[in-house]
Amino acid sequence: MPLALAGASLKTVTKFKYLGHWVTDNLSDNVDLERERRSLAVRCNMLARRFAWCSRDVKITLFKAFYVSFYSCGLWVDYTQKAYNELRVRYNNAFLVLLGLPRRCSASGMFAELRTDGFAAVMRKRCALLEARLRASPNRVLSVFASRWDSPMLAR
């Protein structure tokens, strides 16, 4: 059934970008995870080329500044394991490429050795930070939403 506003027919779309986050008609977050995966690849290639000559400490600082943001990742609640794993692998590979490490390195080992958060730790921290901000919000709707035990964010 077509929607109309003031007599004008509204165009129906399957996805749109709102504040940098892709919203789809089925509310799946796979499209946004793909956006983040591609963005991560671009940032990785740019930093690896421009800062190849830098020290390891500088590269780790750059990694933390440019790769750990995952804007809007706290909103991801409905995605496939495949999309999530592809993003995790891209994150791990970005670290390897930036530091010039061999591909056979253990992801958990290299992050622990270099005292850098792995993908799972980053996701937990980003989600916990969003939840804490929502709970502390003066907006009652947001704080109630974040406090619900059946919240999709809390389940994640």
Domains held by the chain: number: 1
Question: Model confidence over 117-148: pLDDT tens digits?
Answer: 999 999 989 888 888 888 888 988 887 777 77
Residues spanned by the domain of 46: 4-155
Question: Model confidence over 52-93: pLDDT tens digits?
Answer: 999 999 999 999 888 887 878 888 888 999 999 999 999 999
The CA-based diameter of the chain, rounded to the nearest angstrom, is: 63
**Please, which pLDDT band fits residue 154 given cuts at 50, 70 and 90?**
low
Distances (CA, A) of 72 to 15, 23, 57: 16, 11, 27
* Alpha helices per DSSP H over 51-105: 56-67, 81-99
